[in-house]
A and B are shown apart, each in its own frame.
Chain A
Amino acid sequence: MTMTSIKEDEVHTDGGLDSDPAKKEEPREFASGPTLPTKESAAAAKRRDRFFTIVIPLCVIACLIVVWHVMVKVNEVPHYILPGPSLVVNSLVSDWHILFPALLVTAKITLMSLALALLGGGGMAILLVQSRWIETALYPIMVILQVTPIIAIAPLILIYAPTTQTALLICAFVVAFFPILSNMVQGLKSVDHNLLNLFELYGASRWQTLVYLKLPSCLPYFMTGLRIGGGLALIAAVVAEFAAGSAGAGSGLAFRLLESQFRLNISRLFAALFLLASLGVLIFAITSFISWWTLHRWHESSVKREN
């Protein structure tokens, strides 16, 4: 194609009336624009912003711990009712050999079930949107599975599963599966109709449409499913272990929680709780990071609004 005349024309008019390129939405050139006096201060402001988003929550947590400590000391609360923070830290260190293996077990179940749920939920979603009949046939079953509380199904799963570990895995999977599935289905159905038309016009195959259009465009939905599913998998892993009531060396943090409760070892209970919360935060941080990393370049949700 040889249409360079147009290009030249645009170059001339860019400085004048033309409303469009470069000026309206301060894009890329600004990165290298040395004339901007605000660049330095903007970077500094950004750094300060980031600093505060970390420091403020930490301060709040530190304050809460101090209040906790003072309340326990002043009111002389017995340690079997509410141990002070120092006692909890003590337990965390002295019982590390018990708690850490339990943490690993819970983490393993959570992550494995999440991985299975990602594969299963993603795959099932792709299958469901292929045909309305498949969806009609299978979707109600998915919903029933989802709305029945996992704690109620857990005893059944415990009977049929070969080992307790498998049962826990199944429970966590069932719970994490649905948000991923339903988000993916929603995403696959929300593909821009005009883009679908465009793919049809260019004679794209079903496979090309799936890989180049449907999967990328449902990525934000998938990421939402991942974040919800990650949190739910941990909850389900704990709940299922409560239901299983399994004991012994191979058990997870949930069992250690119950055990500490029975023995009135409240400081260890707090320590176990702390580890569970940390695991939850870690999963949330990782899934949020994955979500940000895959979407930040193009999706509105990951882009800071600039007006």
Chain B
Amino acid sequence: MVIAEEGSQEKNMLSAREPSTSRPLVEMKHVSKVFSNGTVALSDMSMSVRPGEFISLLGPSGCGKSTALRIIAGLGGISQGELDWPSLRINARGLPDGAISFVFQEPTLMPWQTVFGNVYLPLRLKGISKKAARERITAALESVGLEEFDQAYPRELSGGMKMRVSIARALVTEPKLLLMDEPFAALDEITRQKLNDDVLKLWKSTGITVVFVTHSVFESAYLANRIVVMKARPGRVHADFPLHTSLDRDAGYRTSEEYRLACSEVSAKLSEAMGGGEH
């Protein structure tokens, strides 16, 4: 597959504009991404993110989930297609301005900064003084239960706590869209379930929109109200379906029949996607 270099079309460069509500947060139309070494990471991927959704991007490793997430964040250009953030404020570079936060697979903290300094970073980059930011930082740290650790350095924290700091940093800008790239993959199962519950509570209480990349069927069935299953080589959408439940997503849900059915549905779609992609 050859995709022409259409540098001028890389991003649809709109001039700075004000946001409008009720439209999708992200609109990807026929997006392709080719890396400089010729690898086709994404091919003709279309997907939109609407406000309030909890989307799980699910797929085998190497299917371009992370690439798709980075593209949604505006990190790295696209090779073909259209990409827009219709309801977000767009800055002069044609990228969304501060309404998107990203949580990486690693905590990605600055080791030379305290927890406070790490959470302060997004605000500091916006030129907000430490004094003016203090209240918001404290609130963000409280929301992840780390308000007493603000003067600790990252190396003094456990893996789960570091991840919480990372989430607090993502929340401190009060973003509309939270992108999470397999955030808990490196953690143990107990911490992971705990953090999953925390993210769900955040989602419920703030109305934030979440796109959550994972390769775990159970995680996506537990968290998401919409599942996008991706297929590898080249990366594209295989299935995109809602996942509704009448139950509260909590410890009880994990053992319910409904959850078991959801898991098997998601699992079936994933095997389809994997079966079709392998030779």
Given the known A-B contacts A3-B142, A7-B142, A10-B145, are A18 and B108 also in contact in the complex, defined by CB atoms under 8 Å? Answer: no
Identity of the chain B residue whose Cβ is nearest the Cβ of A197 in the assembled complex:
B75
Q: Which residues does chain B contribute within 8 Å of A163, judged by CB atoms?
A: none
CA distance A13 to B173 in the complex (A): 28
Q: Is the CB of A197 within 8 A of B102?
A: yes
Pick the residue among B73, B111, B149, B159 that contacts A298 (CB under 8 A): B111
Q: Which residues does chain A contribute within 8 Å of B111, judged by CB atoms?
A: 298-299
The answer to whether B130 has its CB under 8 Å from any CB of chain A is no
Q: Is the CB of B174 within 8 A of A1?
A: yes
Q: Is the CB of A6 within 8 A of B102?
A: no
Q: Which residues does chain B contribute within 8 Å of A27, judged by CB atoms?
A: 152, 156-157
The answer to whether B233 has its CB under 8 Å from any CB of chain A is no
Given the known A-B contacts A18-B190, A27-B157, are A298 and B145 also in contact in the complex, defined by CB atoms under 8 Å? Answer: no
The answer to whether B144 has its CB under 8 Å from any CB of chain A is yes
CA distance A201 to B71 in the complex (A): 11
The answer to whether A28 has its CB under 8 Å from any CB of chain B is yes
The answer to whether A38 has its CB under 8 Å from any CB of chain B is no
Interface residues of B in 140-182 (CB under 8 A from A): 140, 142-147, 149, 152-161, 164, 171, 173-174
CA distance A199 to B108 in the complex (A): 11
Q: Which residues does chain A contribute within 8 Å of B91, judged by CB atoms?
A: 203
Q: Which residues does chain B contribute within 8 Å of A300, judged by CB atoms?
A: 155
Q: Which residues does chain B contribute within 8 Å of A17, judged by CB atoms?
A: 190, 194
The answer to whether A202 has its CB under 8 Å from any CB of chain B is yes
Q: Is the CB of B194 within 8 A of A298?
A: no
Interface residues of A in 279-307 (CB under 8 A from B): 297-300, 303
The answer to whether A4 has its CB under 8 Å from any CB of chain B is yes
The answer to whether A200 has its CB under 8 Å from any CB of chain B is yes
Nearest chain B CB to A203's CB is how many angstroms away? 7
The answer to whether A119 has its CB under 8 Å from any CB of chain B is no
Q: Is the CB of B125 within 8 A of A203?
A: yes
Q: Which residues does chain B contribute within 8 Å of A18, judged by CB atoms?
A: 190-191, 194
Q: Which of A13, A20, A195, A303 has the most CB of B within 10 A?
A: A20
Pick the residue among A11, A24, A197, A303 that contacts B155 (CB under 8 A): A303
Can you identify 20 A-B contacts, CB atoms within 8 angstroms? A3-B143, A3-B202, A5-B205, A6-B144, A7-B144, A9-B198, A11-B145, A18-B194, A21-B146, A21-B160, A25-B158, A201-B102, A202-B125, A202-B173, A203-B91, A203-B95, A203-B97, A203-B126, A213-B110, A216-B110
The answer to whether B55 has its CB under 8 Å from any CB of chain A is no
